[in-house]
Structure 1
Amino acid sequence: MVPMNWSERKYGQGKLTWRITSLMKLSYNLIYDRSVSKNYNRYYFYNPDGTGKNHSTSATQILQFTHTLNDKTFYTIGASMFDKDLKYYTYEDASDPRYVHPKVGLPIDQFSAGTGGTDHSRFHRSTNTMLIKVDLSSQVNSSNLMKLGVEYRRHKIFFESMTLQPIDRQSDINLATDSPFITTKIPELSSNFHDLYEHTPVELSGYIQDKMEFDDLIINIGARFDYFQPDGVILNDESDPSIYNPIKPGNRFDDANGNGFQDPGERTKTVDDRRAYWYRKATNKFQISPRFGAAFPITDRGVVHFSYGHFFQIPRFERLYENPDFKIGFGTGNQGVVGNTDLQPEQTVNAELGVQQQLAEDMAVDLTAYIRDIRNLAGTRGDEIVVFGGSATYSKYVNSDFGFVKGLVFSFNKRFAGGIAATLDYTYQVAHGSASDPREARNAVAGGALPEVQLVPLGWDQRHTLNTTVSYTAAEWGVSFISQYGSGTPYTPRRSEDVTALLTNSQTKPQFFTIDGRAHYELKWDPMRFVVFVRVFNLLDTRNEVGVFDDTGRAGFTTDEDRTRRINPAQLVNSIEEYFRIPTFYSEPRRMEFGLTLEF
């Protein structure tokens, strides 16, 4: 037996606290996490050593100083540093002699898994985030609690992705006579096989809030300011995107007479020459977001609460910096997608209205209705950009998508008493929008179809979810359980001949259910405390169908299997049944973890 989807992890956390005086406290927290893992790759089922491993290291340091000025006012100053490094490679050395020619990895036939080959792709991403924040809280008078703060966040992002290539004299080999092992080379940055970027985006924010308490009314009112500096560039001329492989004559050489031909004396332009005029800086973004909330009693144990607010969310960095050198293919039609560092931040308006009722000293219920209007989502619904010459186009991310979410949440909470605590949360939700995947519109156009012109269920649209927790804690031991139920999420069925008959995400996957458990036992040897624990994920070993075939909507059957049997292929490597069984369509089986915690 060979593990196909494994991981090894080392995790540590430590905290130091220094109470300088009765009014001042300094704390330091360190979290370290290191893991090595391999993801299941169906194509490499018979050649698991041909794929790479994920190597991840992260460290989080948090320093916080708290100073109480008096019985009504205190402030905190916090600083943190987050470092994460993620690498993927088959062999650490890019020139490792064990790499084989890509031809070795070709399948024997259409319905066979690979029997050889090595994955030549490599990936490295590192993120360093520094954060500094200051918060002040003051009970100005009996009715007003004021809070204000500022936060500065600086990111350093490094990204490199490549696919190793055989050296020129080994670009093609004869598998019958030549050695399969090759000498690899790192592709030039000008090629479509190598991307590299480094950016330092900056976020700055500040907020002010006043909590006003009256006899029968509590009001929270405030505002937040957000500022984002993307640290990126955009093209001055989108019709000639690649600085390494320009198309326009005036970008390839000094076309002094404008005839489109390089005449004697007209100098060839270098990349540095073009860089002087090729790009312009992306603009900085900011927003002021008002927030308002109120609560008032309706009985001696019941409260109505309401909130309304605007929220600012910067785009995901991969949408900003994807394909950083704006390289596209050399064919006709739509040749790909480029990032856009000038994307506007995502804007969300959220409103909630609910009622809370206390049933007993340790029990309460809450019923809340909410709506969420999401604008400026990244998408590719904008017009295709025509490349000079007119035979090729490409797409870029623009703020073209939007979504609307509405729902109802019922929650029950039994606070810890008598050794028992429990919660129950039920959510009914509808989430519709213009697209779930930012590339959806581009992919439709590239496939000869039209993008959706009406709201469709989003990929995370889930009508019903039910989560429960139950725990019992005694003096030296405890046990707890978490259960999760969810109705199915949407998928797009295989389209029929009538392209108007089915819509994106118009069908639903099967429902899922899982239970996790945890138990612990404490051992004390002053001044140390040991906690032995066991965690069980998917306690009932439920096979939830998280992925499905688009023709049947189930994980275990597709009509393609019957059609393939009628063709009667050779089945030299694997059976037809094995080919159409996809383990990743099912949730993770039961997993148990044992551990020991030491406190002193």
Structure 2
Amino acid sequence: MDNGDETVDTFPPESEYYVKWYDFWKDYSTIPEDVFENLTGPEHKFRNNNPWGFNPYAVTDPEGASYMYPFYYGLYRRYFSQSTEIKLDWQSLINKYNEAKFGFDYTLYDIQMVSMMKPWTTYYEKDMFFASPYKMSFYAQDKLEFELMVLNFGARFDLFDPNTPYYPDKYNTFGEPLYLIDTIITDGDTSFVRTPNTEPDTLYGGGIWPVKMAEKKISFSPRFGISYPMAPKTYLRFNYGHFYQTPQFARLYTNIESDVSTTESNVIFGNPDLKPEHSISYEMEVESEIWKNIFFSTAVFYKDFFDLVGSRYVKMINEEYFIYTNEDYANSKGIELSLGIYERLISFNGSYTLMYATGTSSNSEEKFNNYSFFYDPETGEELSSITSSKYVDFDQRHTFNLSYSLNTNYIDINKYARDFEITLFHVIKSGKPYTSTFASLSNLFDNSSRMPWGFYTDMKASKNFSFGDYKFVISMKIVNLFNIKNIINVYATGSADTDGNLGDLKQSDFTEEYVLGDPYYDSRQDIDNDGKVTPLEQYNVYLATYMDYAYNPHNYASPRTIMLSLEFGF
């Protein structure tokens, strides 16, 4: 939501500046707090949201696990975030050869997360954090445009302050609190102020402070670009740049008020001292006009990703835990061939991209999620954490793009057909990698298998109308025009619909019959509504529940979606 305004002013004639202010907020909870308060026991695990009243993986326990359906059993989580941003941009055409740009950006955040549990919930841990981090950045850019060369120089300075205390040693916290609680009484009401404990009471043995403030992170990003004519109608372009990205706040603040003595091993500790993720990009392109209004280009690119956030396993004498650290690396490289044809009525663009992307991990939680596989199932011995390079999840080997447009804005034509534009976009992508069920211990998580290819077609059309001083634009956009069912994620079986566990139960495993009045009778399982649930009905419900669970719509790209819009101006 934009609660600000934008002003434009003009200095002597070639300079202008922009001031912008934004305020965004979001408030979200898993279930209403009153619903959480009224949960009386574990019988509410899955019944409230399970249309079948059955858990396919816990048939011997009618009160089995709850992860099949939304609204986590016995768990209440509330998230709140608000950000206030101020931006200042200034640009000036110093002379006909030189254009300069400067900018400043400041963003203040207010983020809160509260996670509560019922006493009979053991899997999830209690967690809460309140933080007010802020970001500040400044950039400068200079463009020098000569007859035979264009140069771009730029630099960006970023500062990020996590603005929170934390335990650097999750094992030796010595009971020192992260926050000092001050009580303030105002008009008979008691409120609490959380003051960071920046100076713990004692310097403990070994020079370890149990509590410290997260350090400010400063980044400097130089960037450079050049465009040079190699021959008539042929240009060489080269771009080089450093880029930094602040880790997601959940990676910084999750479980920061906990230690290993109060937390189960199935959680990851946040790390407020994570460094920004750093990438270095190189790109070189040669573009030629091979015929009138026909352009062909070849581009090669290379990009390194350093200090990516991963999850590190820490093992101590009596404890073990995971914590987010900057320990992962990735790399992408490739080549892109492009052809463009531009005429007054029609235009065409086509490209092919060949890319290779490798790295030590595909996401921050990969090592944590796969920790149970780091033990040899035969010997029980611990396997070393996998840190060698492999194809990562975003390794899209082949991509074909094709688009063509019809535009009547620039031709002499009947007034009713004028100001009309329609564009078709076609994309063909090879499948991304995944690790198959059949991967051996020697190549666990190697991403050596591939998902199916994807075929996408979108359409965009618009028509402009004018009535006196009033202008209208009617637009239509269709995503997935042909409604193709493209797979974007699969289970380790290679299927988007089957995780390989359906064969765990057979019809012969269901032997009990439940009648109306029996504590295990459930009307949702009584398919013929005769007052009893037979073993056959239980088996059919088991199959239906399994398919309901395994058939995940997020494994497929969006179906055909049509969007209409009307713009009005005067």
Same fold (TM over 0.5): yes
Pick from 110, 113, 131: which aligns with 1:199? 131
Aligned twin of 1:79: 20
Pick from 361, 367, 371: which aligns with 2:298? 367
Root-mean-square deviation (Å): 3.5
Structure 1 residues 84 and 364: alpha-carbon distance in aligned structure 2, compared to 1, 3 A threshold: farther
Q: In the TM superposition, what are the counterparts of 1:107-256 in structure 2 within 5 Å?
A: 107=54, 109-110=56-57, 119-120=72-73, 121-163=75-117, 165=118, 193-240=125-172
Task: Give the Cα separation in 1 of the matches to 2:222 and 2:177.
Answer: 47
Letter in 2 for 1:146: A
CA contact 1:546–1:587 (8 Å) conserved in 2: yes
CA contact 2:198–2:212 (8 Å) conserved in 1: no
Task: Give the Cα separation in 1 of the matches to 2:142 and 2:334.
Answer: 28
Letter in 2 for 1:480: T
Aligned twin of 1:395: 322
Structure 1 residues 485 and 116: alpha-carbon distance in aligned structure 2, compared to 1, 3 A threshold: closer
Task: Give the Cα separation in 2 of the matches to 1:313 and 1:116.
Answer: 34
Aligned twin of 1:596: 566
Q: TM-score, normalised by structure 2?
A: 0.75
Q: Quick check: 1:440 aligned with 2:381? A: no
Pick from 403, 411, 414: which aligns with 1:469? 403
Aligned twin of 1:347: 278
Q: CA deviation at 1:362?
A: 4.3
Letter in 2 for 1:226: D
Structure 1 residues 95 and 350: alpha-carbon distance in aligned structure 2, compared to 1, 3 A threshold: closer
Q: CA deviation at 1:428?
A: 1.4
Task: Give the Cα separation in 1 of the matches to 2:195 and 2:4.
Answer: 42
Task: Give the Cα separation in 2 of the matches to 1:284 and 1:117.
Answer: 38
Letter in 1 for 2:557: S
CA contact 1:490–1:508 (8 Å) conserved in 2: yes
Q: Quick check: 1:425 aligned with 2:335? A: no
Q: CA deviation at 1:523?
A: 4.6
CA contact 1:331–1:392 (8 Å) conserved in 2: no
Q: Name the stretch that deviates more: 237-246 or 541-550.
A: 237-246
Aligned twin of 2:520: none
Structure 1 residues 244 and 489: alpha-carbon distance in aligned structure 2, compared to 1, 3 A threshold: farther
Secondary structure, aligned partner of 1:283: coil
Aligned twin of 1:582: 551
Q: Quick check: 1:70 aligned with 2:24? A: no
Q: TM-score, normalised by structure 1?
A: 0.72
Q: Name the stretch that deviates more: 468-477 or 511-520.
A: 468-477
Q: CA deviation at 1:230?
A: 1.5
CA contact 1:517–1:535 (8 Å) conserved in 2: yes
Q: CA deviation at 1:217?
A: 2.3
Aligned twin of 1:309: 241
Q: CA deviation at 1:108?
A: 5.1
Letter in 1 for 2:482: L
Pick from 331, 344, 347: which aligns with 1:404? 331
Q: Quick check: 1:384 aligned with 2:289? A: no
Q: CA deviation at 1:111?
A: 6.9
Aligned twin of 2:29: 88
Structure 1 residues 564 and 547: alpha-carbon distance in aligned structure 2, compared to 1, 3 A threshold: farther
Structure 1 residues 523 and 450: alpha-carbon distance in aligned structure 2, compared to 1, 3 A threshold: same
Task: Give the Cα separation in 1 of the matches to 2:141 and 2:263.
Answer: 56
Pick from 43, 46, 50: which aligns with 1:103? 43
Letter in 1 for 2:152: N
CA contact 2:235–2:286 (8 Å) conserved in 1: yes
CA contact 2:286–2:299 (8 Å) conserved in 1: yes
Task: Give the Cα separation in 2 of the matches to 1:335 and 1:352.
Answer: 42
Structure 1 residues 75 and 242: alpha-carbon distance in aligned structure 2, compared to 1, 3 A threshold: farther
Secondary structure, aligned partner of 1:471: strand
CA contact 1:111–1:576 (8 Å) conserved in 2: no
Aligned twin of 2:217: 285
Cα deviation 1:445-501 (Å, max 9, x = unaligned): 4443432131011111110122333332342543322222211111112255x4004
Task: Give the Cα separation in 2 of the matches to 1:418 and 1:456.
Answer: 47
Aligned twin of 2:385: 451
Secondary structure, aligned partner of 1:344: coil
Aligned twin of 1:42: none
CA contact 2:170–2:260 (8 Å) conserved in 1: no
Secondary structure, aligned partner of 2:441: coil
CA contact 1:242–1:327 (8 Å) conserved in 2: no
Task: Give the Cα separation in 1 of the matches to 2:421 and 2:88.
Answer: 38
Letter in 2 for 1:410: L
Task: Give the Cα separation in 2 of the matches to 1:385 and 1:344.
Answer: 23
Secondary structure, aligned partner of 1:555: coil
Structure 1 residues 349 and 410: alpha-carbon distance in aligned structure 2, compared to 1, 3 A threshold: same
Aligned twin of 2:430: 487
Unaligned runs of 5+ in 2: 47-53, 60-64, 179-193, 201-209, 376-382, 409-417, 511-534
Q: CA deviation at 1:510?
A: 0.9
Secondary structure, aligned partner of 1:79: strand
Structure 1 residues 345 and 477: alpha-carbon distance in aligned structure 2, compared to 1, 3 A threshold: same
Task: Give the Cα separation in 2 of the matches to 1:545 and 1:299.
Answer: 45
Secondary structure, aligned partner of 1:451: coil
Q: CA deviation at 1:353?
A: 1.0
Aligned twin of 1:34: none
Task: Give the Cα separation in 2 of the matches to 1:408 and 1:312.
Answer: 24
Task: Give the Cα separation in 1 of the matches to 2:176 and 2:55.
Answer: 37
Unaligned runs of 5+ in 1: 1-58, 173-186, 247-270
**Seq. identity, %:** 24
Task: Give the Cα separation in 1 of the matches to 2:450 and 2:457.
Answer: 22
Aligned twin of 1:23: none
CA contact 1:102–1:118 (8 Å) conserved in 2: no
Structure 1 residues 61 and 366: alpha-carbon distance in aligned structure 2, compared to 1, 3 A threshold: farther
Task: Give the Cα separation in 1 of the matches to 2:405 and 2:562.
Answer: 19
Structure 1 residues 93 and 488: alpha-carbon distance in aligned structure 2, compared to 1, 3 A threshold: same
Secondary structure, aligned partner of 2:363: coil
Task: Give the Cα separation in 1 of the matches to 2:311 and 2:234.
Answer: 47
Aligned twin of 1:554: 495
